[in-house]
Amino acid sequence: MSQVADTGTEIVLTVRDAAGVVIDLTGSNGQIIIRRPDGTRAFPDTELSDAPTDGTLHCTTLLSTFALQGAYQIQGTWTNEAGLWHTSIASVYVRGNL
């Protein structure tokens, strides 16, 4: 769980198919999308892991990423020569500070 204005939090999404098998992201570009409680979106710099065969997308939060208290939604996308795909949506609650 994160707090408002946390920086340096690493978000890692593992991309899997419907059977739960990790998808090889070799040759792909990825993006993590974060929807804030007010409906605005953040598009942090996203990288594939050093071994794209492990199917993970990574980003690190900035001061503005978790700017509001409340429920956030996180989704990954990836593209390659064959098309564009989306992960399922994860939810996280960001707590306020004193």
Q: What is the pLDDT of residues 47-64, one digit of tens each?
A: 998 899 999 999 999 999
Hey, where are the domains in the chain? 2-95
pLDDT tens for 4-14 read 999 999 999 99
Q: Which of 81, 31, 79, 23 is nearest to 52 (CA)?
A: 23
**For residue 18, what are the CA distances in angstroms to 15, 52, 61, 62, 75?**
10, 19, 28, 32, 16
Q: Which residue has the tokens 């994860």?
A: 90
Q: What is the pLDDT, as a whole number, of residue 91?
A: 96
User: Does 2.60.40.10 match the CATH number of domain 2-95?
Assistant: yes
